[in-house]
Every structure is written in structure tokens, then in C-alpha cells.
A = this chain, B = another copy of it.
Amino acid sequence: MRNAFYAQSGGVTAVINASAAGVIETARAHRNRIGKVYAGRNGIIGALTEDLIDTSKEPARAISALKHTPAGAFGSCRYKLKGLEESRAQYERLIEVFRAHDIGYFFYNGGNDSADTCLKVAQIAKKLGYPLTAVHVPKTVDNDLPITDNCPGFGSVAKYVATSMREAAFDVASMAKTSTKVFVLEVMGRHAGWITAAVGMAEDAQTPIPLVLLFPEVAFDEAKFLAAVEAKVKSAGYCCVGVSEGLLNAEGKLMAEAGTRDAFGHAQLGGVGPMIAGIVKDKLNLKYHWAVADYLQRAARHLASKTDAEQSYAVGRAAVLMALAGRNAVMPAITRVSDRPYRWKITEAPLEKVANVEKMLPKDFIARDGFGITEKARRYLAPLIRGEDPPPYKDGLPQYVRLKNVAVQKKLAAEFKV
């Protein structure tokens, strides 16, 4: 009976802790076959530095509360392991730490990079003759993992941006007569426009909203954009713009880095929203407001999608069941069985087919004029934002759990620099 290791990787989400709960609760349910679940403090860095957290010190109610607690309860990190030869010392160190703590199961919860790391850990373990079952647990608000129909974390961001834009649109509609006519909301999604597309869900047949979306897939054309905004303001009295932080200009350069710098002279992402608002002001002389949701969108557990929360738990649970079934170097994927009614199931994806593959937004999800979403996109997105799963509230605020995160006693003498 060997122990398990679990770590969170990369940008966190509103529901990644639900996957952690899925892993830990399922491991606990199989305590005849899995010993303890050790979590990496701050992700894979915790494994490299032998800074492990003993999750068995947490009561069942704390683990259960992870299902409604955003962000990474054990800490995450941005730390990319490279190729097996290039990062050989790191991979060997991982195995050394796993051996010291009798870890037989490796669960790595992240996106593209971590799928690659998980695969490489499986490979090095085999190479070194160390028995290890490595399973990747999918997570990314960017929704860009292949094979899986959607990625845990995305549905909640999608629900947040659609709801926020709908609410802001009601506000702007009230104010447009004498004040704000154009509202710009900047959203995440650096390479693929999944989140931008989700902004499009703000409107539906009962709630039409004059929306203009700026996808990272569609090079910014100022003249066409201004014409689209002007047309909406003319017909509806106002216009709401959803813009991806990753919007590119005609030369393929990030708008947020394209010449115009922020107030401090730095080029940095997270400024394309005010930039677009400024263009509207300069060229159309319309009153505007802009918002940049930034971390608010991916941390908003109070508005999580129930579909997303359930699927996040399910992939954590499935990862443990796959590991117990001896499935190595795989990832539980979400397979859509039907749109209406929405039905899904967990299937198994080999990590070779997941690692380093980015799933882009299909071309036919973007409307012909480049500023909206198609019916096909709506059909895909609709079930992912469905259902509410509010956290418990106390004194008016969501009650999120903070774990004790008790350290496991170190067994290795050597320090390891990361």
C-alpha cells in the first residue's frame, strides 16, 4: 500500500480545489489500497524541495469544503520542467523524493505544460525502474487542452464573464442617454478566444445586448471595429465590447504591446481594455467606461458553474480510479455525449496525445464579421455555464476553507535548489 502525491500547477481556478477534493476523498475511500495523499506545497516545487503536505491531517469536512473554495489550497507555481535530458536533475530528484516517501501514484493537476511534465515523470520513472502510476488531472481556464471536450475551470470563468457583461450592459443601457455609451470588458485567454466567446453568452433571445467581441484569433482592424461599434450605438443607443487580453494587430503583435505603452512606459498584458476604450474615445468621441476583471474572473467561486464544479470533482475522482486500475500516463477527459439534454462522461486520454497540444477555438465558432459568436458556439458553451453551486456564506461573505497544510517530515539530507 503506497502513498500518493498530488500537486496543483500554473494559474489557479475557481474549482481546481474541487479536483483536489475528488482526488483526496477518492483516495480516502480506497484506504485499503492507497496510503496517504501528500500534496506538493506550491506545486511541483514542493516535490523538488521535499516540502510535502500531509493531507491526512485535514478533517473530512475541510477536504469537503475544498469543493467550494477557489484557488489552490496547497499553493501552485509557474515552474516548467523541460525535456528529460535538459531537466534531468529535476526529474531524478522527483523520483528520489517519491522513493523516500514511498509514493506510488502521481497526480498532477494543470494545463498543457503540466500534462507534458506528467508524461515525462511517467517516462523517467519507467527508465529508472521506479514503479509509479502518473495521471494528469486537467485544469485550465483557457480551455485549450485537446481530447477533453472542455477543461475544468473554464465553465466558471465563462459564467462569470457572461454574467458580468450582462449586468454591465443593463447599467450602460440606463446611462447611455447622457453618459456612457461604450463599455469595454477585458477578459483572459491569451492564445485562444474561448473566454472571449463566452462573453457572447451575455445575450440571448430574451436579453439582446449590442455586443462587439474582439477575439485573439481575429487581427484587430480599427476601421471595421469602429464601424461595428458605431452601428450598435446608432441602433441600440449603446455598445458593449468584450476584448481578449491576447488581441493581436494586423502584424500579429499583441495590441497591449504594440507601441502604445501603459502609463509607466511598460509593455504588459492586461491593458488592452483601456486601450480599446481610448480608441473609441479618440475616434468616435463617445463616453466610455472600461473594466479589467483579471483574477476576479478566475477566482469567482461565488458564481461557479455547477457543471464545472461537478466535472472538476469528477476528473479528480476518475484520476484516482484510473491509477488504481493501473492506467499510467493518462488523463481523465470529459466526453460530451449529447448537447440537449447535456450528457457527459469521463473517458481516458493518453498523455502523449495531450501534452503540448493547444486546442484552438474552432473557426466556425466566430461570426462571419469577426465580432460575435455563432449558434454552434452557443450550443457548445450553453451547458458549460449551467447551474449554480454557491458556497456557504457567513456574515455576508463566502466562507472558504484554509487548510492547516501540515508538513511531512523530511527524509532526505540533501537540499535541492529550484
Contact surface of A with B, Cβ cutoff 8 Å: 8, 11-12, 14, 42-43, 45, 69-73, 75-79, 159, 162-164, 166-168, 170-180, 183, 185, 201-202, 204, 206-207, 260-264, 266, 270-271, 273-275, 278-279, 281-282, 289-296, 298-303, 305, 307, 382, 385-388, 390, 393, 395-400, 402
Contacts of A301 in B (CB 8 A): 167
Q: Assuming A174-B76, A263-B260, is B295 touching A289 (CB within 8 A)? A: yes
The list of the 8 closest CB pairs from A to B, nearest first, reads A72-B174, A264-B278, A291-B294, A385-B396, A71-B170, A167-B299, A42-B177, A386-B396
Write the chain B residue with the least CB distance to A155. B396
Contacts of A387 in B (CB 8 A): 396
B281 engages A289 (CB within 8 Å): no
Q: Assuming A77-B177, A170-B400, A179-B78, is B266 touching A263 (CB within 8 A)? A: no
B398 engages A163 (CB within 8 Å): yes
Contacts of A298 in B (CB 8 A): 171
Contacts of A75 in B (CB 8 A): 173-174, 176-177
A175 engages B396 (CB within 8 Å): no
A70 engages B170 (CB within 8 Å): yes
A171 engages B12 (CB within 8 Å): yes
Q: How far is the CA of A112 from the CA of B378 in the complex (A)?
A: 43
Write the chain B residue with the least CB distance to A203. B397
Write the chain B residue with the least CB distance to A14. B167
B171 engages A402 (CB within 8 Å): no
Contacts of A385 in B (CB 8 A): 395-397
Contacts of A402 in B (CB 8 A): 206-207
For A43, A77, A175, the residue with the greatest tally of chain B CB atoms inside 10 Å of its CB is A175
